[in-house]
Structure 1
Amino acid sequence: MAATFAANSRYLGTGTRTLTTPSGTVIAYLARRFLPHPETLAQIATYQVAARDRIDTVAAAALNDPELSWRVADANRAMLPRDLVATPGTVLRITLPAGMQGAPHV
């Protein structure tokens, strides 16, 4: 069974697995997504957090898509994305997703 995800999904390209229960029921599930090491991601810009920013508004401003907030979180090693925007003035890395080559580090 192949899962279909939108082109901007963090799960695009993530495989599925199956588990067969003792009763014979087959359960499909999404394979684990491992977070990339931020230093391996191609940096394309930075973003300075302003008061009242949210992670989705940062993604909208920096990447033109609020649903790409996972890329901002990945680039800045955030397990709790809201922490990235908690302090105005914080400078965030904006990167391409894992596996994409791009501009040299800015």
Structure 2
Amino acid sequence: MFESSSRYHAVPTTTYTLADGRTVSHLRRRFLPRPEELMAVGEHVVAAGDRLDRIAARRYGDPEQSWRIADANRAMRPDDLTAAPGRRLRITLPAEASAAVVAGEPAR
């Protein structure tokens, strides 16, 4: 349903059957990861004019991974992360990779 780089890729779907027999599929709820459980791999100090997508492009090689930075910094409004120059942003591994490292599995 979603590309593997999407934050919704691993979220299961649910299908309901309506009274008229039609089915409707939707995503189940996605819970934000706990930032303290994500393995930090760096930090970014916000400079004037920084944008989250550009930070993600530099750190992860993909601007669409900006949601990873938002999750790592417990941001409900991602734009708030770059609003104040000097703010320190945690850069982390994805939740799946963090869990694998903690479990002693090789990184993928």
Kindly state the Cα deviation for residue 63 of structure 1 after the two structures are TM-superposed.
1.5
Q: List runs of 5+ in structure 1 lacking aligned partners.
A: none
Match of residue 68, structure 1, among 65, 69, 78: 65
Partner Cα distance (2:88, 2:65) in 1 = 17
Instruction: Count residues with an aligned counterpart.
Output: 100
Residue type at the aligned position of 2:63: P
Q: CA RMSD in A?
A: 1.5
Match of residue 42, structure 2, among 42, 45, 66: 45
Deviating runs (4+, > 3 A) in structure 1?
none
Partner Cα distance (2:27, 2:4) in 1 = 17
> What's the counterpart of residue 78 of structure 2?
81
> What's the counterpart of residue 7 of structure 1?
4
Kindly state the Cα deviation for residue 99 of structure 1 after the two structures are TM-superposed.
2.3
Residue type at the aligned position of 1:46: E
Partner Cα distance (1:89, 1:15) in 2 = 38
Q: List runs of 5+ in structure 2 lacking aligned partners.
A: 103-108
Kindly state the Cα deviation for residue 8 of structure 1 after the two structures are TM-superposed.
1.4
Partner Cα distance (1:89, 1:11) in 2 = 31
| Seq. identity, % | 51
Q: Tell me the SS of whatever aligns to 1:100.
A: helix
> What's the counterpart of residue 24 of structure 1?
21
Judging by fraction of residues, say which structure has more helix.
Answer: 2
- Using the size of structure 1 for normalisation, the TM-score is 0.87
- Using the size of structure 2 for normalisation, the TM-score is 0.85
